Amino acid sequence: MSPTVFVLNGPNLNLLGTREPEIYGSDTLADIEAMLEEKAKSLGLAIDFRQTNREGVLVDWLHEARKVGAKAVLLNAAAYTHTSIALLDAIKAIGVPVIEVHLSDPAKREEFRHISYVGMGAVDEVKGLGAHGYAVALEKVARL
Ligand code: DQA
C-alpha cells in the first residue's frame, strides 16, 4: 500500500476559486485535490485531503496523522498559521514531518502574517507558488 500523506487545509480555504482570486488564484480546493491526486499517483503516494474552518479539528487531524502512521502532513493552516500555539504544539508532539504550505507568500503581505507558529515546527515550507505549491510540497515529501 502507498504511504499516506495528510493534506490539511484550514479556515476559508473552502472558498478558494471565489475568495480574493487576485491573491489566491482561481483554482478551487476541489481542483487542487484532483491535481494532487494525480501527482500523488505518479510519486507512489496516497493523499488524504481535508479542509476545516475549526482550529481544534486541525489539532485532532494532526494527532490522527500520527495514529495512522502517515508519512507526512502538508499543512495550509491559513490564518491559524499566524495565531495558533496549539497547532505548533501538536506538530511538535506527533513526530510526523509537517510541510507548511501557502498559496500566497505571507512574508510579502501584511505584517500580522509574518509570524508563523506552524513554521516553528515544520520541517520545510512552500509559499507563494499558488496551487502548484501543493505539488511542489508533495515532491518534497517523496524525497523525505
Ligand atoms: C494562506 C495565507 C494566510 O495568511 C491566510 O490567512 C490564508 C491563506 C495562503 O495559502 O496563502 O487564509 O495560508
pLDDT in single tens digits along all 144 residues of the chain: 899 999 999 999 999 999 999 999 999 999 999 999 999 999 999 999 999 999 999 999 999 999 999 999 999 999 999 999 999 999 999 999 999 999 999 999 999 999 999 999 999 999 999 999 999 999 999 999
The reported pLDDT for the residue numbered 1 is 82
Rounded Cα distance between 117 and 37, Å, is 28
What domain range includes position 11? 4-142
Task: Tell me if 73 sits within 8 A of 98, measured CB to CB.
Answer: yes
8 bridge partner residues: 50, 75
State the pLDDT at residue 89: 98
pLDDT at 11: 98
Q: What's the CA gap between 83 and 23, in Å, rounded? A: 20
Binding site membership of 53 for ligand 1 (Cβ less than 6 Å): no
As for how many domains the chain has, the answer is 1
Cβ of 127 closer than 6 Å to ligand 1, yes or no, is no
CB of 131 within 6 A of ligand 1: the answer is no
Buried b (16+ CB within 10 A) or exposed e, 101-133: bbbbebeeeeeebeebbbbebbebbbbebebeb
Dihedral angle over CA of 142, 37, 18, 125, nearest 10: -10
Angle CA 56–58–64, to nearest 5: 105
Q: How far is the CA of 116 from the centre of ligand 1 (A)?
A: 11
Active site residue 80: no
**Residue 29: CATH number of its domain:** 3.40.50.9100
Catalytic: 114? no
Confidence at residue 124, expressed as pLDDT on a 0 to 100 scale: 98
Q: Catalytic: which of 80, 102, 117, 134? A: 102
